Amino acid sequence: MRIQYLLLFLLSMGLLQEASAQMRFFNEAEEVYQAGQYYKAVDMYRNAYDKIQGKEIKAEIVFKIAECYRKTGQPRKAELWYSNAISKEYDNPLIYLHHANALKTNEEFEEAIENYKEYQKLKPDDPRAQMGIESCRKARQWMENPNGYKVSRLRYINSTEDDFAPAYSKAEYNEIYFTSSRDESSGEEQNGVTGQPFTDIFYSQQDMSGKWSKPEPISNQINTGVEEGAPSFTGDYNTLYFTRCEVDRKKKLGCKIYRTQKDNGQWDKPDPLTLAPDSMVVAHPAITDDGSTLYFVSNIEGGYGQMDIWKVNRKGDQGWSAPVNLGSNVNTPGNEMFPFIHSDGSLYFSSDYHLGMGGLDIFKATVQASGNYQVENMRYPINSTHDDFGIIFEREKERGHFSSAREGDDEIYSFVLPPLKFSVQGTVRDKKTEQPIEDATVKLVGSDGMTMSSQTGEEGTFKFMLRPETDYVFVASREKYLTNKGKASTVDLEESKTFKPEILLSSIEEPIELPNIFYDYNEWSLRPESKQALDRLVETLNDNPRVVIELRAHTDFRGEHWFNVELSTKRAESVVNYLIDHGIDPDRLRAKGFAATQPKEVGAKLAAQHEFLEQGEVLTEEFIKNLESEEQKEAAHQINRRTEFKVTATDFEP
């Protein structure tokens, strides 16, 4: 029995030692993960997964691998591993949030929304779920309606590694400094976070043809064996601020901002700025043109989230003031990074928490009279569902560069907002037949005093280029037609637009029906709803000052003929009186009542509106009485009850 107990004891000790050895692999991976060495941690977690036992610990390892891919900007792999962790029933609600974010980045919006809703069920008080749902909807909307910027990838500058955070280094904007982890970087080791070489600052110059030169590293006074990047220049381009980060395999180290000046065209040895304790991150400098205010990113105490944007003011030779947080309008519980100060005073930055398309989005913040910032998303195509950050502008122009991971690694893109273009591409048609009218004259009149004219082609079309901030009227005319007009305005438009008006001309060779003219039963007083149509007739008569018209009123055949003659005459007179009251010369107007003596002939439009009518039929008393239903008969009576006008002369002299 003692031997049996001894064997059991030795066996249990062996199992404990084996379990301890298995946990050692996991713990080592955890240590590297906690130090932020996510790229290295992936392989260590994979190794631990193969050696360790236990459903729960394996599910946690799968989740941690997904987290590593998320934090190293690999959304496709992150999506796959989050899905794997969900299938292994990993017990952490965050898995649905992070899975949804990865799906959104990969533009799988519907599935992303379902995962946000799942997270919302588990964490109803966390606003990130609803923000994610709204983000998916906004992303689709913005992608379907781009804001006009033209974006191009800089293929001569970008490498197979990360290239990002550009800065103009000359007033002509033909030289840029930027951050890169390309093979030419001075560091010999691999960054455990990214799996790439440590970053250095490089520069490239643009020639007269617009081509950028092969990038070269800047001074070895600045580039070292650790991380350097995120350059920012003062307005004279003689002072450079940049970030330097020390990296350790087993612990996180802080970052500092360094400052250097040019001496005879060469950069001096840079000096660090003491803005926070050494263990803190102080990075991404953005210096104002005059060098008086420095904006930066940090995780120092007193912020609103993980990384906030702060600023300090220069105090002469006394250094810098205490850091001031930009406040909750800019900073959030997430990360705000890569600030840039435009020459007009606007702040541009990137955030992964403000409502955006996914990952880091670029935002513009404008200071209001209250001192608070108003923040707006730069939208698509500046932003994408991937990380977009590090934007810079030329002075006085909507043109510049920014960084984006939309095609995989971080790369540098150029952008420009082309001048707004406005045009009109209209059509002139016959109001009754809807056929295009050829050789009509269209005159453009702008509120800026510009006038132009054009003739319509075979398809009745006309074209004009328009100017910004201008109201326009397009007056169309042709012999044997009443003149008519269309309108357009480019005032306050922020996007290019092509107007496509359709101007309908009425032929003066046959009566023109006035729609929506209503009277009470057996009355001739105009009802209020008739006046809108009559106001349009007033406008038509003012546009055609030489025409003389006869107002014609018609009734149906029901009732005594003498009564219908009197009723229709008084109705026509009511219209004439309205026109006179609104400034139309009485000598241009005649009134006549026709009772039921001129039944309506069915045209193409009426035939299309009523299945029981055919084009060319005349709605006589005999025709109406032979209709099948009372409903059809009443509709025919309504068609016959109408008010028209006929042009009787075109040579009126006021």
Question: Is 77 in the same domain as 41?
Answer: yes
Q: 333-380, pLDDT tens digit by residue?
A: 999 999 999 999 999 999 999 999 989 999 999 998 888 899 999 999
Question: Is 131 in the same domain as 240?
Answer: no
Question: Is 265 in the same domain as 410?
Answer: yes
Q: What is the 3-state secondary structure (H, E, C) of 432-456?
A: CCCCECCCCEEEEEECCCCEEEEEC
Q: Is residue 436 part of a domain?
A: yes
Q: How confident is the model at residue 15 (pLDDT cuts 50, 70, 90)?
A: very low
Q: 423-448, pLDDT tens digit by residue?
A: 999 999 999 888 999 999 999 999 99
Q: Is 345 left (phi over 0), alpha (psi -120 to 50) or beta?
A: left
CB under 8 A, 24+ apart: contacts of 200-205: 200/228, 200/229, 201/177, 201/228, 201/229, 201/231, 201/242, 202/177, 202/178, 203/169, 203/175, 203/176, 203/177, 203/178, 204/156, 204/157, 204/175, 204/176, 204/178, 205/174, 205/175
Q: What is the DSSP letter of 505?
A: E
Q: What is the pLDDT of residue 191?
A: 73
DSSP letter string, 317-348: GG-BPPPEE--TTT--SSBEEEEEE-TTS-EE
Residue 601: is its pLDDT beyond 50?
yes
What is the rounded distance in angstroms from the CA atom of residue 186 to the CA atom of residue 198? 8
Q: How many CB atoms lie within 10 A of CB 212?
A: 19
Report the candidate in 248, 345, 352 with the shortest Cα–Cα distance to residue 308: 352
Q: What is the pLDDT of residue 94?
A: 92
Q: How confident is the model at residue 408 (pLDDT cuts 50, 70, 90)?
A: confident
Which residues does residue 645 pair with via DSSP β-bridges, in sequence order?
Answer: 512, 551
Q: 295-335, pLDDT tens digit by residue?
A: 999 999 899 989 999 999 988 777 899 999 999 999 999 99
CB under 8 A, 24+ apart: contacts of 127-130: 128/97, 129/97
- Which residue would you say has higher pLDDT here, 27 or 80? 80
Q: What is the pLDDT of residue 2?
A: 39
Residue 193: is its pLDDT beyond 90?
no
CA distances from 511 to 427, 482, 608, 643 (A): 23, 12, 20, 10
Q: How many CB atoms lie within 10 A of CB 245?
A: 21
- The amino acid occupying position 273 is L
Q: Is residue 654 part of a domain?
A: no
Question: Is 196 in the same domain as 246?
Answer: yes
Give the residue numbers spanning the domain of 607. 512-649
Half-sphere exposure for 643 (CA within 13 Å, toward CB): 25
Q: 515-554, pLDDT tens digit by residue?
A: 877 666 677 877 777 788 888 889 999 889 999 999 999 9
Calculate the dihedral angle through the C-alpha atoms of 616, 622, 627, 631, rounding to the nearest 10 degrees: 100
- Which residue would you say has higher pLDDT here, 17 or 520? 520
User: Domain ends where: 368, 391, 416?
Assistant: 416
Residue 9: is its pLDDT beyond 60?
no
CATH number of the domain enclosing 564: 3.30.1330.60
Q: How confident is the model at residue 46 (pLDDT cuts 50, 70, 90)?
A: confident
What is the rounded distance in angstroms from the CA atom of residue 296 to the CA atom of residue 310? 5
**3-state SS, residue 485:** strand
Contact 81, 59 (CB under 8 A): no
Q: How much is the pTM?
A: 0.70
Mean pLDDT across 124-141: 93
Contact 147, 383 (CB under 8 A): no
Q: What is the pLDDT of residue 520?
A: 64
Q: What is the pLDDT of residue 22?
A: 61
Q: What is the pLDDT of residue 16?
A: 40
Question: Is 389 in the same domain as 428?
Answer: no
Close Cβ partners of 37 (under 8 Å, ≥ 6 residues apart)? 192, 193, 249
- The amino acid occupying position 407 is E
User: Domain ends where: 416, 449, 472?
Assistant: 416
- Which residue would you say has higher pLDDT here, 260 or 278? 260
User: Domain ends where: 100, 122, 144?
Assistant: 144
Please give the backbone phi and psi of residue 588, each rounded to the nearest 5 degrees, phi first.
-95, 0
Count of domains in the chain? 4
pLDDT averaged over the chain? Answer: 88
CATH number of the domain enclosing 198: 2.120.10.30
CATH number of the domain enclosing 31: 1.25.40.10
